[in-house]
Amino acid sequence: MAKLEIFQFPTRADNYGVLIHDPETGATASIDAPEAGPILGALARKGWNLTDILVTHHHGDHTAGIGALKSKTGCTVYGPAREAGLIAGLDVEVKEDDTVSVGHADAMVIDTPGHTRGHVSYYFPEESVVFAGDTLFSVGCGKLLEGDAPTMWQSLSKLAGLPPETAVYCGHEYTGANCRFALTVEPDNEALQARAAEVAANDAAGRPSLPTTIGQERATNPFLRASSPEIQARLGLEGQPLDVVFAEVRRRKDQF
């Protein structure tokens, strides 16, 4: 089976758009639709025709382009069933363990609520890639806007349980700021120190630090590392439930 081609590009202020393309069938999906113009430009640049949009959650910076793209291309829009009433133009409602196909490539839908009530992620196991929207960021995670800490911890744990080589594409590029925060809660983490230096060099050169990988996030992302003795000690939460430790990390990030 031909491998998916993946094209990432900036859009809006700090979103990243992603197109995935099956060269065997010509099928092309946009992961979310932050705004139509940059997506249409990316399609033209690659010579691809949009067939699908895979929506992770209902926020406007992930859905604003759906109407124009659907009108222009006739694409099919997939999105979380729990947010169906909030996503205009949704054609197919999806939930945990559903399968969405882009040409010959099959994605498993993973329910990852916490940032929003019905957020989903799309995992392509044969391609070793997951599109995590605003649940998991590079060295970070989404704010708890419609969920609580135990819910988000469960969602992040699902993603952390994917194979370490899995590439992670996120909805936003916040890696530099996330590294600066992460070093306040786990400053002696050598993998994090190295990651922060790499990201600083990328930022200086105008390069994105996305995609990341599940393995890299397990090693450096404090929101996945609630079991770290250093983090627990710095927070004064030794031996506490992991979702409690996570909640305190999230609280501190909100105030950082």
21 is an active site residue:
no
Q: Which is catalytic among the residues 22, 32, 111, 134?
A: 134
CA distance readout (Å), 11 to 35, 123, 152, 172, 253: 7, 22, 26, 9, 25
Q: Has 52 been annotated as catalytic? A: no
- Whether 59 is a known active-site residue: answer yes
Distance CA 34, CA 30 (A): 10
Quick check: is 57 catalytic?
Answer: yes
Q: 115 catalytic, yes or no?
A: yes
Place of tokens 């501190």: 252
Pick the catalytic residue from 32, 61, 111, 119: 61
∠ CA 208-214-220, rounded to 5°: 75
**Catalytic residue selected from 21, 58, 62, 119:** 62
Alpha carbons 44 and 25: distance in angstroms, whole number:
18
Comparing CA positions, the residue from 117, 127, 182, 177 lying closest to residue 151 is: 117
Q: Which residues 6+ apart lie within 8 Å of 78 measured at CB?
A: 52, 53, 54, 55, 90, 91, 92, 94, 100
134 counts as catalytic:
yes
Strand partners, 196: none
Catalytic-labelled residue, pool 21, 57, 58, 119: 57
Active site residue 61: yes
- C-alpha 25/C-alpha 149 separation (Å) is 41
* Strand order across the 212-213 sheet: 99-102, 105-111, 120-124, 129-131, 167-169, 212-213
Cα separation, 125 vs 112, in Å, equals: 17
Catalytic residues: 57, 59, 61-62, 115, 134, 172
